[in-house]
Amino acid sequence: MDDRGVAPVVGKALEAGIVLLYVGAVAAAMYGSVVPDYQTTAGDAVAERALAAAAADVEGAIPADVRAATVRVDIPLPATIRGRAYSVEVENRTLVLDHPDPDVNARVRLSLPDSVTDVSGNWSSATSAVVVVAREHGETTVRLEAR
Amino acid sequence: MRAQLNLPALGVALLLVTAATGVSLAVANGAFAAAERDPIADHAATALADRLVAADGPLAVRKNVLGADAVAAFDSPRLRSLVGERGAVVRLNGRVVARAGDVADPRTMRRLVLVATVENRTLTPRVERGAAVTLPRRTDRVTVTLDPPAGTVVRAVRVNGRTVLSNDDGLRGTFALDSSRVRTTTVEFDATDRLPAGSITIEYAVERTEKGVLGVSVDA
Amino acid sequence: MRRAQLSLSAVEAGVGVLLVFAVTTGFVLGSPAVAGDAQLDAYATDLGAVLANDAPRHGDATRLTEVTRSPSGFERESTALAERINRVLPENLMYRVETAHGTIGYPRPDGVAYGVARHATPYGTVTIWVWYG
């Protein structure tokens, strides 16, 4: 009976302690390297999809055969990507998503008819986004505005 | 002697769990890669296809109806100006219409279209007083050349019941008139006497359409 | 008594591995959304636009207008409409066209991705479904 090294309870406690240490170490390793990478990649994918959908909505907002019209379309954008706010700018008829994380970005070229003369404005994820298309005097302008 | 503080077994167990976690991470990577789409390339293909098929597009005569000569004249610089920097190729019924750059990983969008060729036909009818000429095919544009003989005056011309030309002193010359593509067109002449063959020439444009599939591929 | 003890660590390890694989299965079974709906929707919209170009055998402005105008209009034009759709639509696609006065085409199967478009005429709406089949 005296050959026992340690009492069983203490042995189990030691094992439990080792396992907890191990789990803690693995969790720390994952949160240090693997998880942020996954979050960034997922954030990039979300940014691309959101911007592509927004671009399709903007293109769909252009009215067809009317001489004069004003169209306002609400554009749903996610409130945050990867937990942070972002903005959408216009650069040369291309929507550009601006995010504080340098690995999260997206650019979508807008495919607009030749009658569209100007595309301007920007969206911020903090406010509801709307696109205003105004056609008058033969000119069609597209503006990204906050609601 | 009971097993106690079974460290080797614990070590093996932890190793097993680590291996399982590693496999799980690999599977997660694979699943993510499989689910990865390129929504921006898909959008580029869809938007280019929409543009080409739209009524105000560079190829279209009407919505989903492409003009045969516009399609023949569509070239690489024009495609490049529509699509930006990506590689793209546009096909009609499988044959390439225009190509800009290389398309290594194609995202394709197909649209059903009609390809319209316009044929001009001419009628030189003899019109009795008060009679109307019914055009055998639908058209949206009619060109009427009036050359009535001496002593006969054409006072008015009506298309589908609507007066489009009117001059009490007499009409003479060539006039382009609008008509409706969705109705049969009748042209009436309000003249003082019957008009013999040759005094009226009616030219009208008939559209012949063929079905087609427009394929738009962009490089991802 | 010399019974072999079931090594508790082995059981614990087994449970741990099972839990991890349960999470893994979540990754494997989570299937991404069916792509290609945009293409089918485009086919359906295009079919409406192309049919709207056709002159009917009798009467009204286009075949689609005639088919929505009245039950007798539908009777007269529906066969010609079906033939026209068969010529225009690519071979691998099936269709269903529904108007207030009747339906032509095939019954819609369940669980299959399909595209839908609605085309307005002065007398009513024509709904077109298209799917691969």
With cut-offs at 50, 70 and 90, classify the pLDDT of residue B220: confident
Q: Which two tokens stand for residue C63?
A: 């075949």
Q: Which residue has the higher pLDDT, C6 or B79?
A: B79
ipTM of predicted complex: 0.84
Q: Which two tokens stand for residue B61?
A: 């005569």
Hey, which chains touch B, using 3+ CB pairs under 8 Å? Answer: A, C
CA distance B18 to B24: 10
pLDDT digits (tens, 9 = 90+) for A61-90: 998 878 889 999 999 999 999 999 999 999
B192 shares contact with chain A (CB less than 8 Å):
no
SS (H, E, C) B85-139: CCCEEEEECCEEEEEECCCCCEEEEEEEEEEEEEEEEEECCCECCCCEEECCCCC
CA distance B126 to B128: 7
For residue B65, the chain C residue with the least C-alpha distance is C50
Q: Nearest CA to CA, how far is C128 from chain B (Å)?
A: 14
Residue type, A98: D
Interchain pair B32, A41: CB under 8 A = yes
Q: Which residue has the higher pLDDT, B32 or A73?
A: A73
Query: Model's pTM, two decimal places?
Result: 0.83
pLDDT digits (tens, 9 = 90+) for C63-105: 888 888 889 888 888 888 999 999 999 999 999 999 999 999 9
pLDDT the model gives residue A4? 58
| Nearest-CB residue to C27 (from B12, B28, B49) | B28
B48 shares contact with chain A (CB less than 8 Å):
yes
Q: Is B198 helix (H, G, I), strand (E, B) or coil?
A: coil
Is the pLDDT at B1 greater than 50? The verdict is no
pLDDT the model gives residue C76? 86
Is the pLDDT at C53 greater than 90? The verdict is no
Phi, psi of A15 (to 5 degrees): -60, -45
Q: Which two tokens stand for residue A11?
A: 């042995």
Q: Over the Cα atoms of chain A, what is R_g?
A: 26
pLDDT digits (tens, 9 = 90+) for B108-139: 999 999 999 999 999 998 888 888 899 988 88
C92 shares contact with chain B (CB less than 8 Å):
no
Q: Which residue has the higher pLDDT, B17 or A112?
A: A112
Q: Which residue has the higher pLDDT, B44 or C31?
A: B44
C38 shares contact with chain B (CB less than 8 Å):
yes
Interchain pair B2, C23: CB under 8 A = no
| Nearest-CB residue to B56 (from A106, A107, A115) | A115
Q: Which two tokens stand for residue C105?
A: 């085409």
Is the pLDDT at B211 greater than 80? The verdict is yes
Interchain pair B20, C16: CB under 8 A = yes
A·B CB contacts under 8 A: 74
Per CB-CB distance under 8 Å, the chain A contacts of B5 are 5-6, 11, 14-15
Is the pLDDT at C36 greater than 60? The verdict is no
Q: Nearest CA to CA, how far is A12 from chain B (Å)?
A: 7
Count of CB atoms situated within 10 Å of the CB of B187? 23
Return the H-helix or E-strand segment holding A75: strand A69-75
pLDDT the model gives residue B12? 82
Chosen for mutation from B1, B2, B5, B79 (greatest number of chain A CBs closer than 10 Å) is B5
Average pLDDT, chain B: 89
Is the pLDDT at A19 greater than 60? The verdict is yes
Let me know: does B187 contact B142? Beta carbons within 8 Å: yes
